[in-house]
Amino acid sequence: MGIKKWPKDERPREKLFKYGEHTLTNAELLAILFRNGIKGASAVDLGREVVAHFKTFRNMSHTNISEMRSFKGLGDAKIAQLRASFEIARRFMSEPKKASQAIKSPKDVVRIFMPRLRDIKKEIFQILLLNAKNHIIDIVEIEEGSVSQASPQIREIALKALQNFAAGIIAVHNHPSGDPEPSKEDVMFTKNLGTACRALEIDVMDHIIIGDNKYYSFTEHKCL
């Protein structure tokens, strides 16, 4: 039976408006994204099958597109809606309160970046631009690298800091392997970045590597 034939109080969209989105099951939330099911299964049925297969939204979020396409009932339109919703969630979780939030420790930085960077399968390099009181001016993405390496340009980083009148910067990137331990290249890059920025009177306050619910801070390890 199609969802349109269900009692109104049982339809996901109507439940959302009447009782709030927090009352919906995971399958019902997916059904709203999917909009329609497949032959012999409603959108909610399809949502239940997807939840049963992937177990968690986090597992879904870092499943590659080819694996999603192999799941019966997930066409390109539904996959695009899913992946867009996951990216919105990541960006929402990592949005800082720029005007009022001051960075006081590496953990403050990790809270901003961990939700998005821990599951991305390519290296992403970003810099946090700070004013003299360590308030966030902006977050700038410098480069998306390969699965194993990003090679950000120090000149570009310094230019972004100067353009935004930043007093200090914090470099952040992820390790898709989940292990945040720095490589020799990470160590050399951090050293060269610090040398270049000191000449421009820009303080490199930290370089943080995000892993799978773990992180490495050069400042905490007294390597900066």
Mean pLDDT, the chain, whole residue set: 85
Among the ranges given (29-38, 138-147, 170-179), the one the predictor scored with the smallest mean pLDDT: 138-147
What band does 1 get if pLDDT is binned at 50, 70 and 90?
low
Beta bridge partners of 144: 124
| Distance between CA atoms of residues 91 and 212, nearest Å | 17
Number of H helices, E strands in the chain: 9, 5
Q: Map out the domains of the chain with their CATH numbers.
A: 3-92 (1.10.150), 98-217 (3.40.140.10)
94 within 8 A of 115, measured Cβ to Cβ: yes
Write the pLDDT tens digit of every residue in 158-196: 999 999 999 999 999 999 999 999 999 999 999 999 999
Has residue 9 got a pLDDT over 70? no
Has residue 148 got a pLDDT over 80? no
What band does 23 get if pLDDT is binned at 50, 70 and 90?
confident
Among the ranges given (35-44, 124-133, 170-179, 202-211), the one the predictor scored with the smallest mean pLDDT: 35-44
What's CA 109's distance to the chain center, in Å?
13
Q: What is the pLDDT of residue 61?
A: 83
Write the pLDDT tens digit of every residue in 39-53: 778 888 888 888 888
Q: What is the pLDDT of residue 54?
A: 85
- Describe the crossing of helices 26-34 and 43-54 by its angle, rounded to 10 degrees: 120
What band does 149 get if pLDDT is binned at 50, 70 and 90?
low
Write the pLDDT tens digit of every residue in 55-77: 888 888 878 888 888 888 888 88
